[in-house]
Amino acid sequence: MVELKEPNGQILSYRHLAGSIEVHMRGTQRAPDARIKLKIGSRHGFVELDINRGGISGLKPAHRLGKDFLTYVLWAVSVDGRASNLGEITFEGENPVPVNLTTPYQTFWLMLTAEPNYAVVDPSSEVVLYSVKEGSAADTKALTIRSNLFYFTHYSTYESAPSAADDRVPNQLLQARKAVELASKSNGAVPKNAGRATLKEEEYTQEALDQATSFLARAEAAYQADPKGQDVIQFARTAAQSAENARALAMGAVGGILVRQLENELAKLRDDLAKLRTAAPTVIADPVQPAKAVPAPVAVPVASPVVTPVASAPPLVKQPALWFAVTGWGVAIVLLFRRKTI
């Protein structure tokens, strides 16, 4: 979990079909001079966000925050910390481009983060702008929700060393290259074991990564043929999208290969434990002591049936296999919960 400890953070619940209100976003310490002014209003089935020309000021290109950052993404964050990618803030030279976006959320706060590509499914920790409370204009058309600003993400590690921009290469192609690089690293971090069956998520991850690599190659070829051609942008954005799908699967943001691996191991341990519990105790004859003669039963008149006590199962301490299974089960559960990055 990432908690945003900034003053006057605002979560708004927009009244259904009540019209548009003006909302402001203020820069964090990473971009103290940045500001965004936008209009937000409830529509039939969605909430619309409109950033007019001139509504973004003081925002510098993302590469100034680190070499892994190539663009900005606007997020709507629900009250329970789930972030939804609303869209990319692009630039024409040094000037950000106004956008019109929508979200199905009715209650949320806004943040702008620096990202490696436009298609990320989880935000980075580089928050540059967040929505704030200014004035009382929102009182009649939106309800203020009192809560801390926080969000969850699987993507917490990026290279934050400043870098210089390569203005010769289109930003979309740079994003595609970085997306494939990050996806390849994430896929390589997943443990491979030839002795087990391949998970469906692993197959999907490899297919998405192969597709991303193929589209990146086409984008590079198009760039060599015509650096300003539209095919470069088209193929590069498709490559970034496929690569991000692969990274999300590998890291657990969607699906979760590592989680599924642990779930399968846990299910196997449960089966082994169940078999040990239901197995009848085996009686082994003593080869040293001779068998004793059993006397013939003597008939004794009784008024009620005699209940013969059932032999109790051998103590747990005398079953090392069961102890081993229980211990392995516990380790698997611990690993399963530690996998979630907060």
Q: Return the domain boundaries, the chain.
A: 2-151, 171-255
With a CB cutoff of 8 Å and minimum separation 6, the contacts of 9 are 109, 130, 131, 132, 133, 148, 149
pLDDT of residue 189: 55
pLDDT confidence bin for 103, thresholds 50/70/90: very high
Average pLDDT over every residue of 113-141: 85
Whole-structure pTM value: 0.71
Percent of the chain with pLDDT over 70: 68
pLDDT top residue among 259 and 111: 111
pLDDT of residue 307: 45
Give me the CATH code for the 2-151 domain, please.
2.60.40
Range with lowest mean pLDDT among 42-51, 64-73, 114-123, 280-289: 280-289
Q: Please state whether 259 falls in left (phi above 0), alpha (psi between -120 and 50) or beta.
A: alpha
- Residue 105 phi/psi, 5-degree rounding, is -65, 145
pLDDT confidence bin for 36, thresholds 50/70/90: very high
pLDDT confidence bin for 273, thresholds 50/70/90: low
pLDDT confidence bin for 313, thresholds 50/70/90: very low
pLDDT confidence bin for 331, thresholds 50/70/90: low
On the question of pLDDT at 270 being above 80, the answer is no
Percent of the chain with pLDDT over 90: 45
Q: What is the pLDDT of residues 171-186, one digit of tens each?
A: 999 999 999 999 998 8
Closest of 24, 251, 25, 259 to residue 152, by C-alpha? 251
pLDDT of residue 324: 55
